[in-house]
Structure 1
Amino acid sequence: MKFTRGSDTGLWLLTTSVSYLALFSILVSIPELALAQPNEDDIACLHGFQSMAKSSDPALFNNWTDTAFPCNTTQDGQRATFVGITCSSSRVVSLFLSDKGLTGMISPNLSLCRNLGILDLSQNSLTGTLPSELGMLSYLMTLNVSHNQISGPIPPEIANCSYLHELDLEHNRFSGEVSTALATLQKLQILDVSHNDLVGPIPTGLSNTSDGRPRFNASSFEGNPRLYGFPLPYPKSRTLSILAIVGIGLGSGFLSLIVSFTAVCVWLRVTEQRLAAEEGKISQLVPEYD
């Protein structure tokens, strides 16, 4: 069969249209395929968190099962929903479980949610330490675990979260010194480590900017009795201690002066009486001449 030029053009258009339609169908199906395949790291992240944290609300973790995942569609085409979890491009990007009656500890498996940008576990009763593995969250912008019972040091590895904008650790039981590594967080705009048991000096990079302006105010550090340095005010207890030392020194000096003066007076009096007695003896020995 021969085709005219017009026929050739029509066939080419038809073939091209079919090809584009097939390609479009494949491209459209790719997100669905992605949704059908749960991200193993994110699953391990959430299941690890669930295994170490409990909630007073029994419904919170009810659907956290192996067959349900918040970033993927289920068999009926509906997306599973987990309270406090937000997804984007089939990855977990936000975990917001503030004031959910959580107890237990924070799982280091949270570091497997590589795309996590917000981690807010504030206003709960979590214990244990803050996992250093959280420093592996390259996209983390908000880390808020305030108002819990978390203890131990503040992991210096948190400084690896270069996009961190907010770090709120207030009202916990953090101890040890504030790592100077935290001062390298250039995007950090909100910092609160108040009301813990931190000790030692406040790193210069957290108290001042490179041009000498205050970076964070005193409220970011208050409530740590053994933490000192700008911008915290000079401790009154130290002022009182210095005044006490000066007072003791002056008092001791004055007391020593009184004792010395009294001793000298007594010595002079005794010496005077002795001389008078000796003069009396001498006068008795000297004969009287008429």
Structure 2
Amino acid sequence: MMGIIWGWTAAALLLLLLSAASADPNDERCLTHLSQSLQDPLRNLQNWTKSTFANPCQGFTSFLEGAICNNGRIYKLSLSNLSLKGSISPFLSNCTNLQALDLSSNQLSGPIPPDLQYLVNLAVLNLSANHLSGDIPQQLALCAYLNVIDLHDNQFSGLIPQQLGLLVRLSVFDVSNNKLSGPIPSSLGNRSGNLPRFNASSYAGNKGLYGYPLPPMKSSGLSVLAIVGIGLGSGLLSLILSFTAVCVWLRVTDKKSENDEGKISQLMPDY
């Protein structure tokens, strides 16, 4: 009996050791570089250490703040509202099993790394309420499972990539309150009206952005043609008035001359 118990104990220990030894090196690399790219002034990520990165998961159990595990791999990263600073590491692409990334409501800056295209299982990307800037990378269209792209309240500029319209699963798309410009791709216009969080509010707060579902842009002033037309019209009117004034003056002058000549002839003696 003792031999059986010992055998089971040894097997359990061996399984535990094998689990620790088989921690995915890609996840370790991903977490290490992400930690190096972030600043944590409130020390919310105290257990983000090298030893924890080496074995962040055991089955479905996570040993890492903000991480959820699935089958020994990092499945979700939720680090929202932690006053984090720094940038988004391109090495996040090594967390190849990642399905949800939430870094919202922090103070992150810099661009979205195009390398995120390698997160082929990513379904949720929430980077809202930060200080991120630059273009929205068209490579995100390669994350075919994306359901949510939330980038509102940042400083992104440039055009909205047409390629994002190829994401057939996309149900939430919010780029409001940025510095985007140009037309809204027709494929991202929600013309069917069946996606309540994918409408005009998703694009509001971008002064240079236009197109459906935003309302028509208000005229900011007179067009160039209107200004030229007004100028030509004013010039023509001035010319007509000047010509009329000259004609009237000439007519008055002629009439006065005729009257003067009449008076002179009356005063001349007859011979």
TM-score band w.r.t. shorter chain: 0.7 to 0.9
Within a 5 Å distance, the mapping from 1:1-290 to structure 2 comes to: 33-66=18-51, 68-72=54-58, 81-208=63-190, 213=193, 216-236=198-218, 238=219, 240-242=220-222, 249=229, 253=233, 255-256=234-235, 258-279=237-258, 280-281=260-261, 284=264, 288-289=269-270
Deviations 1:97-151 (A, max 9, x none): 0011110000000000000001000000000111100011010000000000000
Aligned mates of 1:84, 1:173 — CA distance in 2: 25
After TM superposition, give the deviation of residue 178 of structure 1 in Å.
Answer: 0.2
Q: Normalising by the residue count of structure 2, what TM-score does the alignment of the two structures yield?
A: 0.83
Aligned mates of 1:157, 1:27 — CA distance in 2: 44
Amino acid at match of 1:289: D
Instruction: Work out whether residues 69 and 75 of structure 2, in 8 Å CA contact, stay in contact via their aligned partners in 1.
Output: yes
After TM superposition, give the deviation of residue 274 of structure 1 in Å.
Answer: 3.1
Aligned mates of 1:288, 1:26 — CA distance in 2: 152
Aligned mates of 1:226, 1:133 — CA distance in 2: 28
Instruction: Work out whether residues 167 and 190 of structure 1, in 8 Å CA contact, stay in contact via their aligned partners in 2.
Output: yes
SS in 1 for 2:221: helix
Instruction: Work out whether residues 207 and 214 of structure 1, in 8 Å CA contact, stay in contact via their aligned partners in 2.
Output: no
Larger Rg: 1
Instruction: Work out whether residues 222 and 232 of structure 1, in 8 Å CA contact, stay in contact via their aligned partners in 2.
Output: yes
Q: Which runs of 5+ in 1 are unaligned?
A: 1-21, 74-78
Q: Which runs of 5+ in 2 are unaligned?
A: 1-6
Evaluate the alpha carbon distance shift between residue 64 and residue 277 of structure 1 in structure 2; reply closer, same or farther with a 3 A threshold: same
RMSD value, Cα: 3.1
Deviations 1:169-191 (A, max 9, x none): 00000011000000000000111
Amino acid at match of 1:117: Q
More moved, 264-273 vs 45-54: 264-273
Identity %: 35
Q: How many residues align?
A: 257
SS in 1 for 2:107: coil
After TM superposition, give the deviation of residue 53 of structure 1 in Å.
Answer: 0.5
Amino acid at match of 1:45: C
